[in-house]
Amino acid sequence: MASDERSMRDRMLAGDLYIADDPDIARDSTRAQALAHRYNTMDPTDGAQRRAVLEELLGAFGPGSEIRAPFHCDYGYQTTVGARTFANFGLVCLDVARVTIGDDVQMGPGVQLLTATHPVEPGPRRDKWESAEPITISDNVWLGGGVIVCPGVTIGANTVVGAGSVVTRDLPADVVAVGSPARVVRSIG
């Protein structure tokens, strides 16, 4: 790890182990926190201004999409949201790695999309090494309230994840999954 000459930010963006002490990482985090704070304290009836802040914060924010405040993310630019997607109150998006949210996605309140991960071994974890794995939420997915999506997970199109579920592994398209860990309980259609 010590012989790698890339910046910690470059290591983070590549999905490799990094330590979050890089000034560029700190700058990106501060930018995201400031924009999220602005968004979370805006008049909820000022749709155009709210949309402008999300377009500045996120990597992409599709037409007709809405995220209700409060919304929290690590960096923002690592998250893309498709068209006509709705996220209810309290979305947490730890976008250390890419978070891709498709078109027509519905997310209940308190959903957490968590790309960040840490070494299981105590030494590297104590030394503050961390990494992340991307999350993909495909088109027309419904995540019920309080769903947690773990690092590296892809959820297939049209899938429904029941409230309070913890998604630790990929889910195929066109299924209903529930529980902790989330398990497929039936097919759709």
Q: Which residues are catalytic?
A: 118
Closest CA to 164 of 143, 142, 150: 143
Q: What is the distance between the alpha carbons of residues 73 and 95, in angstroms, rounded to a whole number? A: 6
Q: Residue 9: name the closest of 179, 182, 124, 132 by CA.
A: 132
CA distances from 18 to 13, 46, 121, 152 (A): 9, 39, 15, 17
Q: In what order do the strands lie in the sheet with 99-101?
A: 60-61, 79-81, 99-101, 135-137, 154-155
